[in-house]
Amino acid sequence: MSDEAQRLHAIVSGRVQGVNFRYYTMLTANEIGVTGWVRNRIEGTVEVTAEGPRAKLERLLRFLHRGPANARVEDVDIEWGAATGEFEGFHIR
């Protein structure tokens, strides 16, 4: 597995708004050590863009598939890409 930074873009659907999904995603991302952001989308999904080594992004992705205790994740649509290095830290938008 490469340590070269990559970008993960994910759209998480299910019961993912109003259950602290963004907050716990931010905590998890900061604990893992990846950068980027998370936000709610108008249609009820949560969008995540994160950058870091692939192994760390895979850890974040495992969290996104289950979410916090009150969430019910139905699907995670993901895309992988090249990191841009544009983020400092991980934040809620």
Per-residue b or e along 27-37, where b marks 16 or more CB atoms closer than 10 Å to that residue's CB? ebbeebebbbb
- Retrieve residue 29's tokens: 């991302």
Q: State yes or no: is 22 an active-site residue.
A: yes
Instruction: Choose, from 20, 22, 39, 93, the residue flagged as catalytic.
Output: 22
In sequence order, what are the residues at sequence separation of 6 or more whose Cβ sits closer than 8 angstroms to the Cβ of residue 40?
A: 17, 22, 46, 47
- Retrieve residue 18's tokens: 């109003």
- Crossing angle of helices 21-32 and 54-66, in 10° steps, is 160
Instruction: Choose, from 40, 66, 70, 72, the residue flagged as catalytic.
Output: 40
Active centre residues (catalytic):
22, 40
